[in-house]
Amino acid sequence: MGATLLILALAVFGADGKADSKEKEKPKHSPYGPSLPYLTKEEEDKLDEIVDRFMLYDIGRLGGVEGARALKAFRDLGPEAIPSLVRGLNRAATIEHSCPVVVIAQKLGRLLAASDDEELLEYVKDNIGSGVGRTRHAGVLTDLRVGVAQRRNAVIRRAASSGPKSPRAMSVSELADAASSDRGARLKSILTELEKRRGDEVMPALAAATESYEDDIKKLGRDLLDRNLARQTEAVVKDKLNDRVLEIRMAAIRVAARKPRLTGDLIELLGDDKTEVRAAAHEALVKLNRGQDLGPSGDGKEKIADAQAKWRRWWTGKKGR
């Protein structure tokens, strides 16, 4: 059994012990798993660079003071660097030198042996060796993947015997399922946690909450859906303007009212089949025009077409300034 697998296997036998004290709550966390802090792209790029510089040191292409710094920076990496270490492991597996692969795998093994984050463990298991293809390092990658799977299974078994998970420890799928069945304060916590995550299940679950019979849940679902969409790229918001789920469309319209480049899309929605969509698009356009209303004043096709023509002239003139 390889060194990495041995580390993880030993951790499996201890996984049924008492959990460590809860980590301090963080305002944001990583989409890779709730146990990791949220990192910006620049912060993730910096961690990737540390791993890459260690690889250069380990294969003898970076020496002296710079090499020593690269080694120390690598040794100082903590759990927040797990996604970067996975990416670095896959890059290292494509080169001939074996040392970087073994060292990175062992570091990952130690970090993951201490993790109870089911979502993070699943991410690592699914991404070890991703895009690598045939490699002389297949044995190291397989050992690590098996060890991670064993650790994840142990975490799942322990969780099953210790009662409901906290929202932060739940996967996106678990949160989405719970959002359709839980009630009260726990439902609010679940929805709030779900909004921070990434995945195809997030927006539909938040949209479903906007149809709750509880007014406070309905408002929370709407606010969280708007917040989630506001964090997306303009391309995503544009796509959601035509989503099959009405509440997602409505949220996208509200967000588009703060994105002038989507004005043309809002003008088109003035002629939508749904009354709610037409009204929301109209309200968004008035906001973009700082309160000046160019119509329509009713639902007739001619009135709508006339209003769309006025809005297009306004928008063309605005772009031409």
How many whole angstroms from its chain centre is CA 93?
Answer: 26
Q: What is the mean pLDDT of residues 213-235?
A: 94
Please check the confidence at residue 19 and state whether its pLDDT lies above 80.
no
Percent of the chain with pLDDT over 70: 89
Q: What is the average per-residue pLDDT within 220-228?
A: 96
Question: pLDDT: is 300 or 284 the higher one?
Answer: 284
Give the pLDDT band (50/70/90) at residue 239: very high
Site of tokens 């003008």:
267
- The pLDDT score that the predictor gives to residue 120 is 93
Q: Inform me whether the pLDDT recorded for 318 exceeds 90.
A: no
Query: Average pLDDT in the 157-175 region?
Result: 81
Tell me the pLDDT tens digit for each residue of 5-17: 545 544 554 454 4
Higher-pLDDT residue of 99 and 270 is 270
Helix (H, G, I), strand (E, B) or coil at 37: strand
Q: What is the rounded CA–CA span in Å between residue 228 and residue 206? A: 9
pLDDT for position 169: 85
> Closest Cα partner for 123 from 137, 136, 108?
108
Residue type, 73: A
pLDDT in tens, 96-141: 676 889 999 999 999 998 898 999 999 999 999 888 888 888 888 9
DSSP string, 205-224: HHHHHTT-SSHHHHHHHHHH
Mean residue pLDDT across the chain: 87
Domain ranges of the chain: 3-11+26-163, 164-231, 244-321
